[in-house]
Amino acid sequence: MNIHLTLAPLISLIAGILILVMPRLLNFIVAIYLIIIGLVGLFGAGNMGFH
């Protein structure tokens, strides 16, 4: 099992979690977006079927 971490998804995941600590409506929306992008990048779900 290879775990391939890149910097951008990890930073966006951390930024999303930090923004959720101080929730406001805009911050909440941005945090959810960053967490989703981070998870997709970390687990490689974004490149399934594309070469």
The verdict on residue 32 lying in a domain is yes
Closest CA to 32 of 6, 8, 46, 13: 13
The verdict on residue 2 lying in a domain is no
pLDDT for residue 4: 60
The verdict on residue 50 lying in a domain is no
Taking only the tens place, the pLDDT of each residue in 1-51 is: 455 667 778 878 887 887 788 767 677 778 888 898 888 888 876 555 554
- Which range marks the domain in which residue 11 is found? 7-45
Tokens 């923004």, residue located: 19
Number of domains within the chain: 1
DSSP3 helix / strand / coil % (the chain, rounded to 5): 75, 0, 25
Contact between residue 16 and residue 35 where contact means Cβ atoms under 8 Å apart: yes
The verdict on residue 1 lying in a domain is no
Closest CA to 17 of 36, 3, 4, 1: 36
